[in-house]
Amino acid sequence: MPQLQFTLTGDYVELHNLLKLMGLADSGGSAKARVAMGDVTVDGKVELRKTCKIRAGQVVMLDGQKIRVRAPD
């Protein structure tokens, strides 16, 4: 599966919002549930905080799909 890219518009994006914005969750509630179940990793470690701040350079994975987060241009 190809790697997805997400470009920040500010300093960070909350984890559940990133999953929703990238289309990996149907809704914010669904994204929060996936995080709470331990299905999401950030930089290779399971992340259970739904509002974890994801910053440029971090890599998020869900269901084998990798999202690389970039700084704004």
Mind listing the pLDDT tens digit for each residue in 17-51? 999 999 999 999 999 999 999 999 999 999 999 99
Percent of the residues in the chain that have a pLDDT greater than 90, as a whole number: 93
For residue 73, the model assigns a pLDDT of 80
Residues facing residue 70 across a β-bridge: 7
As a whole number, the mean pLDDT across the chain is 95
For residue 1, the model assigns a pLDDT of 64
For residue 40, the model assigns a pLDDT of 97
Decide if pLDDT at 2 tops 80. Answer: no
Say how far apart CA 66 and CA 73 lie, in whole Å: 21
50-59: b (≥16 Cβ within 10 Å) or e: bebebeeebe
Query: What DSSP letter does each residue of 8-37 carry, written as one string?
Result: -SSS-EEHHHHHHHTTSSSSHHHHHHHHHT
- Domains, the chain, ordered by start: 4-70 (3.10.290.10)
